[in-house]
Structure 1
Amino acid sequence: MDFRLTEDQRALKRGVRELLDRRFGREALRAAVDGGGVLDRELWRELGDAGFFALRLPEEEGGVGLGLPEAVLLFEEAGRVLLPGPLIATHLAAGAVPGAAEGVVVVTAVDESGLVEWLEAADVVEGDASGAVPVRSVDPLTPLHRAPGSGRCAHPFRPAERLPTTGTATVSLLTAAEQLGSAARTTELAVSYARTREQFGQPIGGFQAVKHLCAQMLVRTEVARVAVYAAAVTGDPVEIAGARLLADEAAVGCARDCLQVYGGMGFTWEADVHLHLKRAWVRAERGLSGAAAEELVASSL
């Protein structure tokens, strides 16, 4: 089986990156943070026009007619720029909720842990969010609510015969893709900073300890990339669970190592590194928990 991207897939990835660089660059990211996490409806409609939400809908239903591997590429790019909003829920609702595919309607969902992202900004909520209360989110661009009576059990064991549903597996895979994009971006940021920041008369990238950190970040990211891309091709729930574990580890670990490369500068508000770490923490709580993913992989062996 050939896991290399086709020319069409590479072109899709380039096109999405160009769109997001133009429409949601660093200035837009900082403006969104300063704006208190208000969802940009115009950007949402532009994503709809570009086929972001309708990517996997059949062409006869007005969609693009592509599959999970292509969706993973889109969500990887979204994770790279920390694109805010309930992207996965709206993507999954395309074709089922009128207006979702076009980006006219914003859809959110109550996940397995009872968390609801962007509840107040959503037009449609999948699941019972009645009585949901706001909870403090570490990520300024991911407002959260929690539905009453929710919460993961202390021992979320899932035997092999109770693998995730297709929807849950897809949420986990697309979340893993976002985590992968974030890991790749913090690796880029660390390497760029190490090349330009000088100490003792030379770039800090010349020091062995910094070299090791950057190398570890690259390895984490590329191992996660292989797992995420392969799971997108096979669609196997157990492989998706494994990819999710690697992607969560890569996103959190690379953000932490990037902070180490930046030193104290990384903890300041004007740096973007801490935003990647906070988003990675929030994403890691979405849908399938790490403990449940571990049990899924273990029970399949």
Structure 2
Amino acid sequence: MDFQPTKDQQALRTGMRDLLAARFDRSALRAAVERPSLDRALWQALGDAGFFALRLPESAGGVGLGLPEAVLVFEEAGRALLTGPLVATHLAAGSVAGAASGESVVTRVDGPLVAWLEEADHVQGDASGARAMRSVDPLTPLHRSRGTRTPEPEAVLLAAAEQLGSAARCTELAVQHAKQREQFGRPIGAFQAVKHLCADMLVRTEVARAAVYAAAVTEDPYEIAGAKLLADQAAVRGARDCLQVHGGMGFTWEADVHLHLKRAWVRAEQWQTADEAAEVLASAL
């Protein structure tokens, strides 16, 4: 079996990366950090590009693609640290008016954390009594609710795909810095300790990629739980190792590495936590 993205899937991924590079580049990312509000024009652009309607049938005005294609575009969203309740709006495309086209923003009560509650046009679930809380991620406003968690496997997998994209981007940032930063007259990437950090990041990312892609094909809830578990680890540990490679400058507000770490922390608590994923996997044994 040739378990590789097809030419059409590669073109889809490239197109999404190009769109985000044009509409949500680093300057837009930093502007979002300074003014954490949802960019409605960007949301509409995502809708126009078919991001939310990707898996709707063509007869319903969608693109008519499947879960593997959705995983690829969500991976790109994670790589770019794209903001907003992407998973909830994508899942609501077939049931909430305006969600598929990007005209509506949808969030969902999933466990104790609700993202983008004040910005949402539609809230799925009971958010009564939800209280605003300080989010560790400046790009993800959160409320704390009394809601229970009933994660859909598709939601879990799309969140895992975002984590995968973030892990891959952190690996790229670490390698770039290791090649450029010099110490004692040599690039720091020539030192064994830095090599090991970068190699470990790459291994975790590619293992998570294999798990996420495979789960997108099988749609097996146990494989999806394993994919989320591996992707969470790759994103969180990858961001930490990337900080180590960058040294002191990685901890500064001007660097983007800490944003990947903070987003990874938040995503690891959404849809399915590590403990919940482990319980799902244990139930299959």
Which residue identity does 1:136 align to in structure 2? R
Q: TM-score, normalising length from structure 1?
A: 0.93
Is contact 2:127-2:147 (8 Å) kept?
A: no
Structure 2: unaligned runs, 5 residues or longer: none
Matches within 5 A, 1:148-297: 149-150=146-147, 168-297=152-281
Q: Cα RMSD over matched residues?
A: 1.1
Counterpart in the other structure of 1:117: 115
CA displacement at 1:298 relative to structure 2: 1.6
CA displacement at 1:3 relative to structure 2: 2.1
> Which digits, 9 at most, give the CA deviation of each residue in 1:73-98, with x for residues without a partner?
01000000100000000000002101
CA displacement at 1:288 relative to structure 2: 1.4
1:271 and 1:150 map into 2 onto residues whose CA distance is 35
Counterpart in the other structure of 2:44: 45
Which residue identity does 1:61 align to in structure 2? A
> Which digits, 9 at most, give the CA deviation of each residue in 1:213-245, with x for residues without a partner?
000000000000000000000000000000000
> Which digits, 9 at most, give the CA deviation of each residue in 1:44-77, with x for residues without a partner?
0000000000000000000000000000001000
Is contact 1:115-1:145 (8 Å) kept?
A: yes
Change (3 A) 1:126 1:179: same
> Which digits, 9 at most, give the CA deviation of each residue in 1:121-159, with x for residues without a partner?
000000000121011110000000012x3478xxxxxxx
2:280 and 2:272 map into 1 onto residues whose CA distance is 10
1:9 and 1:150 map into 2 onto residues whose CA distance is 36
CA displacement at 1:2 relative to structure 2: 3.6
1:93 and 1:144 map into 2 onto residues whose CA distance is 20
Counterpart in the other structure of 1:94: 93
1:226 and 1:272 map into 2 onto residues whose CA distance is 26
2:142 and 2:121 map into 1 onto residues whose CA distance is 15
Counterpart in the other structure of 2:84: 85
1:255 and 1:105 map into 2 onto residues whose CA distance is 32
Q: TM-score, normalising length from structure 2?
A: 0.98
1:257 and 1:115 map into 2 onto residues whose CA distance is 27
Is contact 1:3-1:229 (8 Å) kept?
A: no
1:135 and 1:287 map into 2 onto residues whose CA distance is 18
Alignment partner for residue 144 of structure 1, among 142, 145, 153? 142
CA displacement at 1:114 relative to structure 2: 2.4
> Which digits, 9 at most, give the CA deviation of each residue in 1:231-286, with x for residues without a partner?
00000000000000000000001000000000010000000000000000000000
> Which digits, 9 at most, give the CA deviation of each residue in 1:168-189, with x for residues without a partner?
1111100000000000000000
How many residues were matched structurally?
285
Counterpart in the other structure of 1:158: none
1:193 and 1:212 map into 2 onto residues whose CA distance is 14
CA displacement at 1:299 relative to structure 2: 1.8
Structure 1: unaligned runs, 5 residues or longer: 153-163
